[in-house]
Structure formats: structure tokens, C-alpha cells
């Protein structure tokens, strides 16, 4: 089977590769009530939120610091975040429940960017 690349196909591929990495590497905003991270395992994904103080206690403010702390401690307790409707009807990211994370070889921690307002947890 022979594959023919057209100019339009090449331009579309170039546009895709030019935009996807920039979005995927978006750093979390540090002025939020909580910094959000996506924890990805072989079975599921969960969004967690950590405050600036919690991140400082872990030794950093990025996904690498969270992953390193989880690997070194073996477990990590954090607030799971989910989308909900505010009293005025707007959507927001809010704490749902406290969860425990257990370190695993196939676990991945990613920054999680959201256009929604992020609500602080206790």
C-alpha cells in the first residue's frame, strides 16, 4: 500500500503538531485557590487539587514534585476535584472528597488546566 502525502495533509499535520504540545504543556496557575493535577493510572484518571502550602510541603509546585513525593512516601492524601454548578449557575471546579493515592509504576501525574473557577479546599 503506497501512501501519498498531499500539501493539505502536510499542513494539517504541521498545524496539529504545532498546537498540541503547547496546550499539553500548559503550566498550572499558581494564583489559584488550589493547583490542579490529573493522576492517570492504567485503570482510570482523577483530578486532585493541592494548595500552595501543601505543594511547598511536598518540595515543589509542579507535577514532578507531586510524582516524586508520591513515589518517595508511597501514599499521598489529596482532595479530589470535580465540576459542579455554583449557586449562580456557573460551572466551577470544586473539592469533592478526600482521597488516598498509592504509588504505582504505571502512575502518571500531569498538570491540569481548566477555564473554570477553582474553589479552595479546607
Domain ranges of the chain: 28-118
**Average of per-residue pLDDT values in the chain:** 81
Question: Residue 62: which residues within 8 A CB-CB, separation 6 or more?
Answer: 27, 28, 111
% of the chain at pLDDT higher than 90: 66
Q: How many CB atoms lie within 10 A of CB 70?
A: 20
pLDDT on residue 28: 44
Alpha helices by DSSP H, listed for the chain, are 7-24, 52-58, 63-73
pLDDT at 122 over 90: no
CA 110 from centroid of its chain's CA atoms: 4
d(CA 26, CA 82): 20
What is the model's pTM? Answer: 0.72
Q: How would residue 62 be classed by pLDDT, with cut points 50, 70 and 90?
A: very high
Amino acid at each position: 500500500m503506497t501512501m501519498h502525502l498531499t500539501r493539505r495533509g502536510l499542513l494539517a499535520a504541521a498545524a496539529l503538531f504545532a498546537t498540541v504540545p503547547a496546550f499539553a504543556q500548559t503550566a498550572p496557575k499558581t494564583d489559584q485557590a488550589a493547583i490542579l493535577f490529573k493522576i492517570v493510572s492504567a485503570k482510570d484518571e482523577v483530578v486532585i487539587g493541592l494548595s500552595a502550602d501543601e505543594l511547598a510541603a511536598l518540595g515543589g509546585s509542579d507535577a514532578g514534585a507531586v510524582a516524586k513525593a508520591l513515589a518517595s512516601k508511597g501514599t499521598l492524601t489529596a482532595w479530589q476535584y470535580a465540576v459542579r454548578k455554583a449557586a449562580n449557575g456557573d460551572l466551577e471546579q470544586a473539592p469533592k472528597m478526600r482521597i488516598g493515592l498509592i504509588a504505582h509504576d504505571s502512575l502518571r501525574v500531569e498538570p491540569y488546566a481548566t477555564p473554570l473557577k477553582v474553589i479552595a479546599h479546607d
